[in-house]
Structure 1
Amino acid sequence: MRIELKKIEINERLSDETCCFSADLYINGRNVGIAYNRGNGCPTDYYATTPEGKEQILKAEDYCKTLPPIKSGEHTYEMDLEFYIDNLLNSHVKQQSQKKMQKRFKDHIVIGNDRDVGYRYVNIQTPIEATLKSESGRAYIKTVLETLKEQLESGDQVLNDNIPTNIFKAAGFGENQYLDNDLQLATKARKQSKSIGKKM
């Protein structure tokens, strides 16, 4: 059974103890109802918008009860449709957060200890990719990293995937304080050179 949320709308202002959202609930490709949470700590709720939707939701409730429980830390949670919907929403929120963070990599150095929880960032005067093309630009990034290294808290690391490993090492970073991006950068450069070759 395929259960999906579409047209997800999140209201961050009203999100207090839980995420305030509303979304269309789809089962096996059909819009069957609405899922929502008021953001005040109450459980996520859902309802059918048609008689056929009600029937599909009942089947989805039965289906979710057959799924294995989810372990989180020391706790184990039995699966039901409400929990399934919450997991879909959490995945959506994480994806959106990752996209925002990825955009920040262009002209920010991003720091955090969990890519899914939160991060802080420092603005770079010009896009990092362009800055790294010159010796002075690489020296500038190294200087910024040296300053940031002194501000790292326990478990923090630079999350950027667009800064070469040798610059981190030159700035005195330990292996657990940055991501090893060399393979990814080399792959990206290869793709760009192939793309340029095709255009020519």
Structure 2
Amino acid sequence: MLIEIKNVQHHAQLSRASWQFTATLHIDGQVVGTTGNDGDGSPTWYRGKDSSCKPLIAAAERYCALLPDRVLKVPGGRVIRFKQSMGQVIEELFDTHRSEMRRQGWEHFLQQEINRRQAGSFVLYNPHNGDVRSITTREPIGILLQNTYLRNALCEDLKTNAKSYLEAGYQLANTNIPETVLATCNIQPGQLFRSKQTKGPLQAKKYKRKI
């Protein structure tokens, strides 16, 4: 059985004791109603759009009840187990949605920073802690790419000034230096950061869970 939430709307300012959201609820490809949480700590709710959806929702509830218990570790080493429910499965789907939106938001911000800095700098990104550093080049990079002599100077600057960062796990994030040039500078693929962000506006995707 496939449970999905689509058309997710989330208002952080309304989230007081839990995450507020609303979405359409889909089961096995059919729109069966709406779901959400009011943000006040109350359970996540779901409602069928009409009486014809009741059997499919009831079947999904039975499947959710048969899922393995959720396990929560608390301070002191204690483990708490929760029986699964339809509402909890929907909450997990929303958590996936929220995490994806945060990731895309960070990717968008990072790409803006790279674009802003890279004309006259090497931009170095640490994927482990999110730190972004820039090292000013002797000339704008566009000029340093104009001939072999200047490209050699760019490589020398890169090896001299960025070496310690690359050895510490930073990745070169410039998108304005051709990879053929970077190869001549002995920059390895693992030392390059390439954003996974897709072009266009950020949009909510479908979030699915097979049960």
Please state which band the TM-score falls in when normalised by the shorter chain. Answer: 0.5 to 0.7
CA distance in 2, matches of 1:62, 1:26: 16
CA distance in 2, matches of 1:37, 1:80: 15
Gaps of 5+ in 1: 109-123, 150-155, 189-200
The SS at the match of 1:40 is coil
Alpha-carbon offset, residue 81 of structure 1 = 0.4
Instruction: Give the aligned residue type for 1:41.
Output: G
Does 2:121 align with 1:98? no
Structure 1 consecutive aligned stretches of length 4 or more whose deviation exceeds 3 Å: 166-169, 171-175, 178-188
Q: Deviation per CA, 1:37-91, whole angstroms, max 9, x where unpaired?
A: 1101111111111112111111000000111122233333221101000000000
Q: Over alpha carbons, which structure has the higher Rg?
A: 2
- The 8 Å contact of residues 16 and 40 in structure 1, kept in 2 or not, is answered as yes
Distance change in 2, residues 1:159/1:71 (3 Å)? farther
Q: Name the residue aligned to 1:153.
A: none
Q: Name the residue aligned to 1:57.
A: 57
Alpha-carbon offset, residue 168 of structure 1 = 7.0
Distance change in 2, residues 1:37/1:173 (3 Å)? farther
Identity of aligned residues (%): 22
- The 8 Å contact of residues 159 and 179 in structure 1, kept in 2 or not, is answered as no
Q: Name the residue aligned to 1:79.
A: 84
Q: 1:157 aligns with which of 126, 129, 132?
A: 129
Q: Name the residue aligned to 2:164.
A: 170
Distance change in 2, residues 1:55/1:99 (3 Å)? same
Alpha-carbon offset, residue 170 of structure 1 = 2.3
Does 2:11 align with 1:11? yes
Instruction: Give the aligned residue type for 2:130.
Output: V
Instruction: Give the aligned residue type for 1:98.
Output: R
TM-score under structure 2 length normalisation: 0.59
Gaps of 5+ in 2: 74-78, 133-157, 174-187, 195-211
- Figure out how many residues of one structure are paired with residues of the other and give that number: 149
Q: Which one has more relative contact order, counting CA pairs under 8 Å at least 6 apart?
A: 2
Instruction: Give the aligned residue type for 1:170.
Output: S
TM-score under structure 1 length normalisation: 0.62
